[in-house]
Structure 1
């Protein structure tokens, strides 16, 4: 899924981290990954060098756990990934089939049902998908945006029903698509309609919203993981390109918007690097490690 076409930066505007870096948190699509979804040899080498220097690496993404082969296959199954915009933490060690959930921050069924009702009223024509730990389930009108067939196709109310055969599997997030509204307009409308009942964001170039439990975001789950390791925000360097990265970039002590980033991301980050296709994450990691050697 290709993200918005944006103005790109050709050189980094990169303030050095004020504190010693202990953890790197990076988004995937439009950030660590090139547009063809590859991880460049330069980026693989930079990540390996960071880990060799004792810097932990977290992939922090809106992707579900089952889409993590794109990095685990090319970065030798290292580390942890925060998936579903903070709804799950997944261990990537081992083969793709053995990736396991370490932490789950689900949205309650009743809340998800309320969100569907609110959005149907505020934006008629909205189509929904339900992302569970076992896969994606969606309505007939929902357009799949990835080669990932639905496990079940049915109205969202049925997919979320208490007596559904899916009920024992946690809901990680809802997805809501509108075929007529612009992406940012749909996001603003949904946040107003839903209020504090859930967290609403987006990472797609289309009017596709990602809805998690209230308080669940890339930032809040990253903060939990860092607290468990005794890592402070000042010791974290984060990278991102889309609105679902804004909270994480604001939380981290040092953060970089990619050269291809959404304007809201540029405003939230403390620095800017080059575009994903120019290995912007690797550029900054190399600078951080070089500064370590020089100090």
Structure 2
């Protein structure tokens, strides 16, 4: 995945329960688009002898000749910081964190006064980044590859790799699987199904169609007759008719019902003048 703010990365998602969102470990891809560069660097970081060679190379480059005392102090500090980051040592005997920037932070909380932590942390980060770059190149040299130059592209890859190594301490899966090849196989699938209730379904569809046509062509009519006492021993009747479609047939039907049920004759129409 190309995130746009660094090298392409592999997203390794993990969650402890299905209802939780995924948490992703972002592992940078090498120039060949694989995890080999990251795996090689992590293996080199776990090698104690290779870590010592990386520290020696860094100290020689940082101090130069004639500064033996400073070189020894820098070697001890870089060796301890690199071992903490690699998880080879613990910041405290009862420390829960093993490796990564979390181990460095735990070490500083236990050994560095609070007023000096910011300055000491900046120095440790700079030293670790330089030593880890030597670890990366030593791992490449061991695999017969050329060392990476110290340009912006290499530094961006190193930064993402260092973050991934630090976060890998919280990644519970011991392995990461990567598909290296894919061969498409064409296939045809025929599916045969039997529905025991198909006759009921067909009958329901038939009733539905009949109901739709009945709704279109059958008129809905309602007739009300209200009987109420009227006078001495008599009663009066009131009749009303409603239909969903108003047309001339409805008027004629109402007059016909009024004549038959109530015995009333329709009033003659006055001739036109």
* TM-score normalized by the length of structure 2: 0.27
The structure with the greater share of residues assigned to helix is: 2
Structure label with greater radius of gyration: 2
Higher relative contact order (CA 8 A, sep 6+): 1
* TM-score normalized by the length of structure 1: 0.26
The structure with the greater share of residues assigned to strand is: 1
